Structure 1
Amino acid sequence: MAQATTIRGGKIRVLIGVKPASGPIVYAAPCGFTQRSVSIDKSLEEQAIPDCLDPDKVDWIGRDASSLSMSVTGEGVLAAESVDTWLEAVENVNSVPVKIEWEFPAKTITWTGNMHVEKFEGAGDNGKRATASVSLQSDGPMVRTSA
């Protein structure tokens, strides 16, 4: 049996894009994340499918995919280097460019698209480091590539 090839948490990156006046979008990973989670969700619609030969038989449910969505959550320290990036994104009425990367030794899986920063929260206890948490929701397709 071959052992699974795994990665450490720092190889899961969430990068926020900035569109300069001219040229391509520039992506950077905001500083401070110590934990991040990427979720891909598929919405399903259900329909009961009757048995044509025995209509009294209990129906099985058929499911059809109706939509895809991606969400990101992250936590860490409230870093001065990234606080403005998060505040500008959460205050923006428009979604922002986002790139998500999972870097494996032999390949990197990347999703690129727009996301809304739906929540940015700073918190702190006396005598301890201030923390931050953030959540993002996709706005349209997140295009996956593997290289």
Structure 2
Amino acid sequence: MAKPVTTKGGMMRILLGSGAGPIVYAAPCGLTSKSLTISKGLEEVSIPDCDDPTAMEWLGRDAVSLSMSVSGEGVLAQASVEAWLDAVESADPVPVKVELEFPTTTWTWTGAMHVESAELGAASNTGRVTGNFSLQSDGEMVRTSAATS
């Protein structure tokens, strides 16, 4: 039995882009946990049985939209505070790139996202301050893939 090819969590990156000139992407430091969710919006319609109008109807579903959400949490690094606060306080979406790197192929999603929430916290007076960030797509997130260099 062949073992699956997997990758480490550090090879999944959330990168925020600069807003001026050519976009420069950088991964804010401190995230130790990340997730990416792609959601498909569905429209439901009841499909009648034309031969037996009294039969229960099955639901048909049509895809009508796609959405992406990204979240990350970890320690709050001083070098990243400004980028996160600027993004969450902006009325406009920010450029975002999400990378998922495997040994031979890297998948990348690029587009605009709103940082919908930034939760900063400390579990104790002697513990580290942490950050938890949630992003939502604003329009299409373009997926590409390329050989990992």
Q: Place the TM-score, normalised by the shorter chain, in its bin.
A: over 0.9
**SS at the partner of 1:34?**
strand
Q: Structure 2 residue aligned with 1:50, among 31, 48, 67? A: 48
Aligned to 2:28: 30
Task: Report Cα offsets for 1:47-89 as digits up to 9, x if no partner.
Answer: 1100111111111110001111000111100110100000000
C-alpha distance in structure 2 between counterparts of 1:103 and 1:130, whole Å = 28
Supply the distance in 1 between the matched residues of 2:108 and 2:136 (Cα, whole angstroms).
Answer: 16
- Distance in 1, Cα, partners of 2:64 & 2:117: 26
Counterpart amino acid of residue 135 in structure 1: S
| Structure 1 segments (4+ residues) deviating >4 Å | none
Query: 2:110 aligned with 1:145, yes or no?
Result: no
Identity, % of aligned positions: 60
**In 2: Cα distance, 1:79 partner to 1:18 partner:** 18
Moved more, 79-88 or 119-128: 119-128
List gaps (5 residues or longer) in structure 2: none
What's the offset of the Cα at 1:121? 1.3
Distance in 2 between residues matched to 1:29 and 1:130, nearest whole Å = 19
Structure 1 gap ranges (5+)? none
Letter in 1 for 2:111: G
Residue correspondences, number: 145
Given the alignment of the two structures, is residue 121 of structure 1 paired with residue 116 of structure 2, yes or no?
Answer: no
The alpha carbon displacement at 1:19 in A equals 3.2
Counterpart secondary structure, 1:116: strand
1:64-143 residue pairs with structure 2 within 5 A? 64-124=62-122, 125-143=124-142
CA distance, structure 2, for counterparts of residue 13 and residue 60 of structure 1: 41
